[in-house]
Structure 1
Amino acid sequence: MGRPFVRNQCMNNSTTGAAISPKHRFSPLSIAISLAMLGGASQALADKSPADREFDNRFYIGGNVGVTSIDPRTSNTPFRVSDDSSTGGSLYLGYDISKRLSIEGYVAKLGDAEIVRTSDGTRQGGIEYDGYGISAIGYLYNFRNASDYSNGFDDEGYFRREGLSLFGRVGLGSLDTSSSAVAFEQLEDLQLHLGAGLEYGWANGFAARAEVISYDEDAKLIAVGILKRFGDAKPYPVAKPPVAKPPVVATPVAPKLKPPVSPPVKSAPPQEMIPSVELPIVHFEFDRSQLTGVAKATLDSFVADILQPSPELRVGIFGHTDSDGSDAYNMPLSIRRADVVRRYLESKGIEGGRLEPSGLGEGSPVTQNITSEDKANNRRVEFEILK
């Protein structure tokens, strides 16, 4: 419908006057800035999760209540707004599209503005504001990082909609105004609305919001509310380290004695035992040979717990890939992955002579390359203790 335009007179007063008209104006520049704020926000921070991580789309419902400011234009009229403060709120249904973007449809009841005659303060009536429309919600910043989760990444809060987030709002809607005492007509059917706020989400899908929304130049809302998301946001799957194989021990066998009895023959000494240790696995992002933060932490523990206390150990480093791509491409990629692990261990003080990197391409998967989770488990570097 748009914002109110009060005609020449109030319904309960025959004195002619000028019109009460809407203040609303918005420029193409303001629209462009708003869309750039939401569309470009997704590039403001570097992605931390693996490239093949899938976002869990979820529906949610919510509502808010707060105080409103309703202030139609009354310049060049015999009327004025005596009270522009009211109470209002909205109900909305939303859908999480990606880790930084959601979309919402809403209905809002924003309260009313009291109109009085300027000359003597005689009350002429109230103009009520209701609205509906659709908004894009852009999550501009989330304060969670990998250290807040036992197994997560620096952008984990975006994927799970958890923790404290700063968000912006931009959308289009309609204001439906009504009055039982003031004659008016709608001048505009569509309005741009803008907003910003804070959201804090919990792991159970509930979240609290505090925000400011400008539905129009003469209709603003400051509100707090709560919403509930349906479904689970799954963490990125990480393969568990394999159980260490039992040590290989050579059992000495006493030689057979031939008659006549000769001087005693000494039995052969047992072969050297390979230490029994639990070896880690390092995983990589799709088509990458760079170490992630999780991978570096895994290697740091490997150095501190195994390699430094046992300087006699020699380690084989075996790089692997998933089945995406050709053999000719995947083999060099697996070699690069093994080599980057070798260089990282050397940077932590492990002698290069103790490390033997090699690449095995896609030929030794730990699971079938069917799902994205399967492929993530196969993009790895494994270790083996050498004799």
Structure 2
Amino acid sequence: MEDYMKLNKKVIDSITVCGLCAMLTVTAVTNSGRSEVKAEDKVLANTGLEHTGYNSYAGVAATLFDYEKGLTAENAVTVEKENVEMVAAAQDAQQEAQPQLTQEQQEWQTKLMPKVEESLNVRAQADEQSDIVGKLYKGSVADIVENDGTWAHIKSGNVDGYVNVSYCVTGTDALSYAYDRCGEIATVNTDGLRVREAADTNSKALEVADQGKTYQVDRAAQAQDGWIAVVCDSQTGYIAADYATRSLNTRVGITIEEEQAQIAAQKEAERKAAEEKAAKEAAKAAKESKKTETTQGEAVSAGADDLTLLAAIIECEAGGESYECQLAVGAAVINRVKSGSYPNSISGVIYQKGQFGPASSGKLARKLSGRISSSCYSAAQEAMSGVDNTGGCTSFNDHGSGISIGNMKFR
């Protein structure tokens, strides 16, 4: 319809121009006499121009010039309007063609990550010679305060300084880098959440997690509505999405002071671990050594009362010690019975004056009327059967020199 109206307007304009041209021709031919002047007046009246006193030809020419000038101006305005509309339409089309950023992508437009294998120095000023105030380790993310294309002023954790952007990725690229290099974690936000073998509440529970427990998200697993696939004991498990928060496994920068504190704490932990390892190895070696020194001698003839008596003195002397120590106490008593330097019976050895404190203090009597542990009975039985893990020792205490078994010294 619009093109049709434009065409009609052009036809009308052409007819008008032709009419004016015809009037110009008539005026030129009859330009002598009063009758011609009257014809000129009619033309002027039809064109709406005043009579100027000039010849009629000049008046009509001026009319044509003004009319054509008006048409040209109108056409120029129309073309300019059409050009503006075309440019606006092209801009709209370009904007529609550009992909729309998600909310997460929009949030990352002011973020930065170091693209390094270990760490990136954060300096006090935008200068390679400036002091190092912190570090962005691999996987750290920082907020960009200002970026001039060479240096970026960033904040991350307690770090506030400048980094060289040539070693970084920013915006959407940083977000993609975070997903590829850091992965995601799922943090449990309730107690007693079951990690299922499959995305089904009836599936077998692999384990039960409490609030704060984190799992690595298994991005290779097929997504299931309402569930998050996680790595649980080297296999894929599923937790209900409503009870966990999913996030990128990124970190923040650390100051030089924080880094030094972490290094010191790590060294202390390593030192303690080394000490514990050495202690365990020493204990294991001692235990193995005691085993090799354990001998089987002749059994001592004794009745049920002697067994109870020996178990009771073992309880009094080493009730809180290891079984090896309890056996050693029983063996020392039996070694005295066999030695010839002491009484030749269990009761004689135990009640010998000045030898066993519990026998004279009344502690032994109370133990005999009370409860004796099964481990002390077992140690007494082994000792009476001839088992000796002391190498023939006949005395012991909790100090001095001798063979260390538990917290006691045997000589």
Q: Same fold (TM over 0.5)?
A: no
TM-score (norm 2): 0.20
Please state which structure has a larger fraction of its residues in strand.
1
The structure where helix makes up a greater share of residues is: 2
